[in-house]
Chain A
Amino acid sequence: MADPAKTSNPPAVELRKIDKSFYGVLANADVDFSLARSEVHALLGENGAGKSTLCSVIAGLYRPDSGEMLMDGEVVDLKTPKDALAAGIGMVYQHFRLVSNLTVAENLALGNPEVGLRLSQSQLEAEARELGERYDFPVDPTARIWQLSVGQQQRVEILKLLYRDVRILILDEPTAVLTPQEGQALFRAMRTLADEGRSLIFVSHKLHEVKQVSDRVTVLREGRVVGGVDTADAEPRDLARMMVGKDLELPTRAPNESIGEPVLVVKDLVVEDDRGLDAVDGLSITVNAGEVVGIAGVSGNGQRELAQGIVGLMKVTGGSVELSGDDITGKSVLQTIKRGIAYVPQSRLGMGLAPGLDTEDNLALKQYREPPYSRGPMLMQNAFNTRGAELIKEFDVRGVRPGLPIRLLSGGNLQKALIAREVTQDHCVLIARSPTRGLDVGATAVVREQILAERDRGIGVLLISEDLDELLALSDRMLVIYEGKIVGEMPASEATAERLGLLMSGHSEEQTA
């Protein structure tokens, strides 16, 4: 698949020793990368591996802290995405930059300096149609963006770049929003583009796709390049191991002897996402009292919809949810709170906490309807203060000052406050999403302790996370979610990086056997 002549030509894009940090956190470290002409190059890695950052550097969105970038052998310094576009590099982001109410043709024309002062709709439309046909990528140029399916919108994004004749296209997790058929059409188009002499970078966490469409694969982990191979030579299990890392620490705590009755039973659950697609697609899990069930998976496979569907924040369109034997499918949030589901959402300030209210108020957010926080219609401010002080002390929430909006606390303290509130409710199930994400070591330890304490108290914990270390440190049983279904289940002691990595990237267990 790769052009043997490329060895004598300089690579289309080359990165040497690229470093990029944000606020002191290293997103890319010492990255060397090379992209040849007519090549489809896959970037593989988990969340947080640095793939998107690297792409953003190439696309001119970020400037590297050190290192250099070359195009066709010459050093370039791209200051803005506009520079990148002018140099022939364009990126299709996960969140499209299309104006919903305008037509396809209008979106193509927007910001394009080559379109003259006068807009000739007919000319734009003809050009759009012609481009679409050339790549077997037909779109109706007169359609408004909101009328198009997500797959078609993505085509428009790609056409936008082709309209500007970019030579290097970067696609960030493009198949996340496509149906399988649309994905295939995309791959065909990618091959056509590559055969024309363009180069493509394709970010993914799905092994089968990488195998299908790419010529070379580079694996990133924790901001560094851990391997680069020709796709033809790459074995899935090797790739998975590279993605996920060294053998993960096995849990050292004693397994819980007293796992009890099922407290949360989910059967064939179906939940639609914001776009109306089934993000949770017939999913079943059981969580027992005194057990931590971990669900691993790359973000975007239905985790949010699962958690919010159970809790009542999103509508359940199929299946059932039972809590200690009672059917709570589709009940309101207030009901699920009262019946005993505690929920630590992924979005701390956007959902779990009210950013402008102070810490004491936030600590009362779930229980304010009951004494001692309120008596009848009246709020008992004393209770807020005393209970608040107790929880702040017990959970070591630091930085609290009277009247200080909670959003000013550091991430670790925010999470401690959130956990404090959730675990001190009257509850039998705790659902937690990525509870230690972005936390420092101290806060992480506190949160992990709390989750284990929950387990010891007989609470059923559903831990949904993308962080395998976190999952393995806490779970008794491990599940993997992929495209809205559970694709694998095993006791934590049998979970290996390779097994999990394969499942998380869509490679079913049968295929590895």
Chain B
Amino acid sequence: MNESVLMLTLMAGIGLGTPLVFGTVGEILTERSGILNLGVQGMMIFGAVMGFWATFVTGNLWLGVLASLLAGAALSLIHAFNSITLGVSQIVSGLALTIFGTGVAVYIGKAGSDPLIGQPSKAVFEPIFPDALADLPIVGPLIFGHDAVIYLSWVVVAVASYYLFRTRPGLTVRAVGEDPASAEAAGVNVSRVRYVHVMLGGALAGLGGAYFSLALVPSWQDNPIGQAGWISIALVILASWRPWRALWVAYLFGIAGRLNFTFQTLEINVPATLLDMLPFLLAIIAMIALTSGKRARFLGAPAALGIPYSREER
């Protein structure tokens, strides 16, 4: 039962979807505060390499996680500075960070006398529950068969959702992303809120990247994350900027990523490249359908997304 194609596909899909969960939830937090971060791809790869390196050097997986969080946050700080303090183009800044972050990551991977590239990770995330539990039919693998990071991702989703919709600080973020002037009038420090959330988003992206290099792959290659960063940006829209939806959408795309393999096993012939197009195609359709005109209000983007805000001088 647990070895069926369906189960294997689901499990692999969850695994592949986990970086997307982190990336998407992180970008949701950033965009909810009104900042568009197109640098997610760069932050993910940078987090992946720094996480890998930290674990490689210390043998400790959790130090790797920490390193990836810090790496993502550090890179996103540059974007925050450009977008919030300087108020320059968020689009160009984000793209610049993707190019920069990717370049740095690839470089680090190849640098030094004993480069990381090609090396397997010194430690890998393994499922944490005993086999007895994981062997239960269906429920076993799906609930108990995961490694710590996957469970962490569920916690992150739950916390993010609760935070955004059930706490006052979360309300504040949402207000800042919708209408910073009104939020400022109500006494909120818009800059500070934005800085915090950009860096949270970067940190989570970094962690998502590290999951590739410490669990999924798990060695270092030039680009272990594929297009996961870009896909995360698209998934934010499909998830309507809501963390729980992000979880399901991410898993959906994780499964889609696995489908190539599944179809081959089942001897169904669907071209891999066409399946790869799916997230992007769906994102466009969603974008057009959901954010044009009046619909925008229902499912929509934070109204002030991407617009620099400057406090008026009195």
Binary contact readout B28-52 vs A (1 if CB under 8 angstroms, 0 otherwise): 0000000000000000000000000
Nearest opposing residue in chain B for A98, CB measure: B182
Nearest opposing residue in chain B for A93, CB measure: B185
Give the chain A neighbours of B187 by CB distance below 8 A: 81-82, 111
Interface extent on A, as a size class? 20 to 34
A97-B185, A101-B297, A110-B171 in contact; A118/B166 too (CB < 8 A)? Answer: yes
Pair A81/B185 contact, Cβ less than 8 Å? yes
In the assembled complex, the Cα of A117 lies from the Cα of B182 at a distance in Å of 20
In the assembled complex, the Cα of A118 lies from the Cα of B169 at a distance in Å of 9
Give the chain B neighbours of A351 by CB distance below 8 A: none
Pair A99/B182 contact, Cβ less than 8 Å? yes
A81-B185, A110-B171, A110-B172 in contact; A101/B166 too (CB < 8 A)? Answer: no
Interface centre among B170, B172, B187, B297, by most chain A C-beta atoms within 10 angstroms, is B187
A62-B314, A81-B185, A111-B186 in contact; A100/B179 too (CB < 8 A)? Answer: yes
Pair B172/A117 contact, Cβ less than 8 Å? no
Interface centre among B167, B171, B178, B303, by most chain A C-beta atoms within 10 angstroms, is B171
Binary contact readout B178-192 vs A (1 if CB under 8 angstroms, 0 otherwise): 110111011110000
Say whether chain A's binding surface is mostly helix, strand, loop, or mixed.
loop
A110-B186, A111-B188, A144-B297 in contact; A102/B175 too (CB < 8 A)? Answer: yes
Q: Which of the residues B167, B181, B186 comes within 8 Å of A119, measured between beta carbons?
A: B167
Interface extent on B, as a size class? 20 to 34
In the assembled complex, the Cα of A115 lies from the Cα of B303 at a distance in Å of 25
In the complex, A376 has a CB within 8 A of chain B: no
Which residues of B, 149-203, contact A by the 8 Å Cβ criterion?
165-172, 174-175, 178-179, 181-183, 185-188
Pair B169/A110 contact, Cβ less than 8 Å? no
**Cβ distance B32 to chain A, nearest Cβ, rounded Å:** 11
Q: Which of the residues A109, A144, A146 comes within 8 Å of B171, measured between beta carbons?
A: A109
In the complex, A272 has a CB within 8 A of chain B: no
Give the chain B neighbours of A98 by CB distance below 8 A: 179, 182
In the complex, B300 has a CB within 8 A of chain A: yes
Give the chain A neighbours of B183 by CB distance below 8 A: 99, 110-111
Give the chain B neighbours of A422 by CB distance below 8 A: none
Pair B167/A106 contact, Cβ less than 8 Å? no
Give the chain A neighbours of B185 by CB distance below 8 A: 81, 97, 111
In the assembled complex, the Cα of A102 lies from the Cα of B300 at a distance in Å of 12
In the assembled complex, the Cα of A106 lies from the Cα of B165 at a distance in Å of 10
Give the chain B neighbours of A97 by CB distance below 8 A: 181-182, 185-186
Pair B167/A110 contact, Cβ less than 8 Å? no
Nearest opposing residue in chain A for B302, CB measure: A101
Nearest opposing residue in chain A for B182, CB measure: A97
Which residues of B, 239-255, contact A by the 8 Å Cβ criterion?
none
Which residues of A, 75-108, contact B by the 8 Å Cβ criterion?
81-82, 96-102, 106
Give the chain B neighbours of A99 by CB distance below 8 A: 174-175, 178-179, 182-183
**Cβ distance B295 to chain A, nearest Cβ, rounded Å:** 13
In the complex, A313 has a CB within 8 A of chain B: no
Binary contact readout A338-360 vs B (1 if CB under 8 angstroms, 0 otherwise): 00000000000000000000000
In the assembled complex, the Cα of A10 lies from the Cα of B297 at a distance in Å of 49
In the assembled complex, the Cα of A375 lies from the Cα of B191 at a distance in Å of 51
Give the chain A neighbours of B300 by CB distance below 8 A: 101
Give the chain A neighbours of B186 by CB distance below 8 A: 97, 110-112
**Cβ distance A453 to chain B, nearest Cβ, rounded Å:** 39
In the assembled complex, the Cα of A81 lies from the Cα of B184 at a distance in Å of 11
In the complex, A265 has a CB within 8 A of chain B: no
In the complex, A337 has a CB within 8 A of chain B: no
In the assembled complex, the Cα of A260 lies from the Cα of B115 at a distance in Å of 90
In the complex, A148 has a CB within 8 A of chain B: no
Give the chain A neighbours of B182 by CB distance below 8 A: 96-99, 110
Which residues of B, 260-297, contact A by the 8 Å Cβ criterion?
297
In the assembled complex, the Cα of A106 lies from the Cα of B164 at a distance in Å of 12
Give the chain A neighbours of B178 by CB distance below 8 A: 99-102
A98-B182, A101-B178, A101-B297 in contact; A106/B171 too (CB < 8 A)? Answer: yes
Give the chain B neighbours of A146 by CB distance below 8 A: 297
In the assembled complex, the Cα of A376 lies from the Cα of B132 at a distance in Å of 84
Which residues of A, 100-144, contact B by the 8 Å Cβ criterion?
100-102, 106, 109-112, 115-119, 121, 144
In the complex, A61 has a CB within 8 A of chain B: yes
In the assembled complex, the Cα of A116 lies from the Cα of B167 at a distance in Å of 8
Could you pull out 17 A-B pairs where Cβ atoms are within 8 angstroms? Answer: A82-B187, A97-B181, A97-B182, A98-B179, A99-B182, A99-B183, A101-B297, A101-B303, A102-B178, A109-B171, A110-B172, A110-B186, A110-B188, A115-B168, A117-B167, A119-B166, A121-B166
Other 20 A-B pairs with CB < 8 A, given A98-B182, A99-B182, A121-B166: A81-B185, A81-B187, A97-B182, A99-B174, A99-B175, A102-B175, A110-B171, A110-B183, A110-B186, A110-B188, A111-B183, A111-B185, A112-B186, A115-B168, A117-B168, A118-B166, A118-B167, A119-B166, A119-B171, A144-B297
Shortest beta-carbon contacts, A-B, top 10:
A111-B186, A97-B185, A97-B182, A111-B187, A99-B179, A99-B178, A110-B186, A99-B175, A101-B178, A99-B182
